[in-house]
A and B are shown apart, each in its own frame.
Chain A
Amino acid sequence: GEDVEQSLFLSVREGDSSVINCTYTDSSSTYLYWYKQEPGAGLQLLTYIFSNMDMKQDQRLTVLLNKKDKHLSLRIADTQTGDSAIYFCAENAGYSTLTFGKGTMLLVSP
């Protein structure tokens, strides 16, 4: 079955880059997603990458996809305190359903 794994916690200083990693198991996934969840809130779509791409850049966000190793990463440049949140990696498990990882809590200190 599908399983998405993420490290649980990352702490960085304001201004540094953050890299959040994810591994997935379903090689047939067409899209891979990164969602952000702030405390007490729903999930906000940050970015996504199509499986035939290996990199996507969107302002401060860079997504890298290594399809051979089933590894996905999200790099946040110039991390700000407002970036503190939980970040979820998700793959589309079949049709339009998603399988989420447990989330990585990013803590940005001043």
Chain B
Amino acid sequence: DAMVIQNPRYQVTQFGKPVTLSCSQTLNHNVMYWYQQKSSQAPKLLFHYYDKDFNNEADTPDNFQSRRPNTSFCFLDIRSPGLGDAAMYLCATSTAGSSEQFFGPGTRLTVL
């Protein structure tokens, strides 16, 4: 089945210790997104890739970086996680020009 996969589902890291979350897709979609969702809040778009073109949201902290080595994979790097970065991180994909997005199950990040 075509899908969006996120690994790991649960990630625990220490304050200030770099962490990488991964997302892969078998949908062959051009566009991949990363969202941050805190408890009882709306998913907040961090950035997205249109093919290899990176689009950063204006209010995304520099602490958050992303890599997309190929169509299928996209990574979210948090360089120095703070307690406030504890959240669910959602990856999504879409075809070019479509706003219909397909979401992965998310990675819940805990920062100790």
Contacts and interface: CB of A to CB of B under 8 A. Distances in A.
B25 to A, nearest CB: 12
Contacts of B61: none
B42 A96 contact: no
A96 B94 contact: yes
Interface stretch (B12-20, B75-83, B100-108): B100-108
Contacts, number: 58
B42 A4 contact: yes
A31 B99 contact: yes
B101 A45 contact: yes
A19 interface: no
B42 A42 contact: no
Nearest to A44: B103
B100 A42 contact: no
Interface in A91-108: 92, 95-103
Contacts of A98: 45, 99, 101
Contact of B42 (A41, A45, A101): A101
Contact of A40 (B92, B102, B108): B108
17 contacts: A30-B99, A35-B103, A42-B104, A42-B106, A43-B43, A43-B103, A45-B100, A45-B101, A45-B103, A88-B43, A96-B48, A96-B94, A96-B99, A97-B33, A97-B48, A98-B99, A99-B42
